Structure 1
Amino acid sequence: MPLIVKDFGWEETDKMVWVTVPLKGVKANKVDILSSDEYLKVSYPPYLFECLLFAAVDDGKGSAQVGNGAVVFKLYKQEPGLWNRLQSPDADDKQIMKQKREEAQEKVKKRLEEEATLKSTTKRANEKLAINEMMKIEDGERERISSIKESERNKATEDLERWKEEQRIIAEKEKEKLLAAQREQVEAEKERDREERRKQRKAKANNIFEKENKSGNAPRESGKIVVTHTPRVFPTPTRESQTPQEEEWLKKQAEAKRSIEMSLDKDLTEEEKNPQWLQDKGNSFFASGDYKSAINAYTHAIHLTPKLPSLYSNRAACHLKLRNFFKVIEDCSKAMDLLFPPVPQNAKSRCKALVRRGTAFCELELYVEGLKDYEAALAVEPKNEALAADAERIRQVIQSTEA
């Protein structure tokens, strides 16, 4: 039978408990310690210390130190407060004590298994990390060697190209010299031919006058011819007209309306067959902040009549609110295609589509493309001060980025 240790000591605060168990001259390497959140055990034959704690402690924070002839437990209470006693009232019940002992042994066993598993996992991870690091080092070395080889090849290629360029320049200069010499020779020959022809014409003219003088005929006097022009009146050109473009625009609108009648579904209600009602419904959703419902309404209207540019432009405004910038660009581009030819009747719609697409480009940090759309919108509405201010801010962003 083991000898139960009763001359232990303990102290407590609101948050901590210290338990001191004397070893009675036994060496530290022969001490078996077991600790859990409710149970303490120190076994050093023939002595045995067991304690069923009054309340639970934090097993993960506590510690046990062996030294100076004693085992000192440093425990942290799970719930602050004074116990006023170390042992639980159930410590005298052998059945409960046995149960707590077995639970403590099971917890310790499980904890040791987890620690072993964690240690094994950590070891494998460290080995894998070491292998990865070695592979990275080897890859880096191969890349460095490959880079050196590539650099040498590039240098040799550059030297060869430089030599070829020098030879080409030398050949060009020699060719230019030969061509210049040939041109000078040709020009000299041409000049000699011109001088020879002048001499021949002069000699021929002198011969003619000499013949006329010998024949007694005097030279003919010069005469004058009076020319009068009939006055002609040209009509003033009229102002350039946009009539063909306007007729084309009205024709496209008429085709869009005819497509509405051709694409109606018999299963739809009268309101659902009306694109204008759907557009108004989408505008109402947009005003209330329900952008997804507005997109659904505009999309349904587009299915009924895919040639109305306002549906694409309005849907682009919804996508802009939802930050679907690529869809904004797609819808605005489709609207601009349908707003051709540009006439005064669709100027306001073209301006809206350009501004929305330009805003989407800027949100995607494609500032050059965004500035192009804003400048195109300014060409449509040159007196719009807000547009001019926005375009100037985009230019400043582009300049700061380039700087």
Structure 2
Amino acid sequence: MPLQVSDYSWQQTESAVFLSVPLRGVSVRDADVFCAENYLKVNFAPFLFEVFLYAPIDDESSQAKIGNDTIVFTLRKKEAVMWEALSVSGVDKEMMQRIREKSILKAQERAKEAIEAKAATRREDQKYALNVMMKIEDEERKKIEQIKENERIKATRELEAWKKQQRKAEEQKRTQREDKLHQQEKQIEEGKKLKHKSFPRNSTTRNLATKGRNSENIFSEKLKEDSIPAPRSTGSIQVNFTPRVFPTALRESRVAEEEEWLHKQAEARRTMNTDIPELSDLKEEEKNPEWLKDKGNKLFATENYLAAINAYNLAIRLNNKIPLLYLNRAACHLKLKNLHKAIEDSSKALELLTPPVPDNANARMKAHVRRGTAFCQLELYVEDLKNG
């Protein structure tokens, strides 16, 4: 039965009420103060102070200071008038209960609005941050595209310059070949003139001249054929690559950690605590931690979280070395908003999930996620980062 506090003192002005409530040993951590428009309550075990105010106050601008075994309230009046008394008179128990319920309901609605406003602000902040990141990424993408375009233009110019140089070299080679052929034809013409001067113009001479012209034509065609290279023949080359397998280096091997994890798993399966008085009333399958774990999983799937926790509790009492029991119980505590217990079970599961190997990587990820979720819902972001 709480002790009702009645030896308080109060003073007032037209705009405020100053109330002093003596409570022996009161502290900020242990005192429960609730202030509404027409209702004020202080709960500090074993003391209880409760007053139904004479007129409405502005509870948002009102203040309370705790220290030296006293709570001092500064209550801001909504209307600048002098009160005849601190509390309203003639209030029966039924009316008191209605005032209490109305004040609590209003406080809950205000808290809900504050949470929704905070969530809306957080969403706006996230949206703004996302827009900023998208803008930065868009600028980076444009810079990269501009660099690519500049490199493409540069490569195109270099290719055009190389083609122009190749065309110029081909033109020079063709000119040199034509000059060489012209010089050879000129030498042939000079030889023909010398032959005409040396031999008479008879039939024999005509035959020789005809043969000479034929030989000249053959020689000229031969020169033309020699000056133009024949096209190269095409072919295909098949390349086969020998497959290479690179074994894991000894310094990067996880064999020792994996063997230690398998040894811990085998030892955990052998561990069984049978010194429990309640075991005599249980069925044979209910004494098996694995059966209890499966039972808890089925209860969790049907959203019967309390029953699932009971199943996991008994399984842990039978065998406290199985990390999945703590991990699943942490999930139940998250559903029931038992956030501190969820953090404890997740941390215990991480202690048992050592050393970290690929076989327990999935379970470790779940433990980190559930512990981080609990920290975030408690708004303990720094602790979450420290525990990583």
TM-score range, shorter chain: 0.3 to 0.5
Q: Which has the larger radius of gyration?
A: 1
- Per the normalisation by structure 2, the TM-score is 0.37
- Per the normalisation by structure 1, the TM-score is 0.36
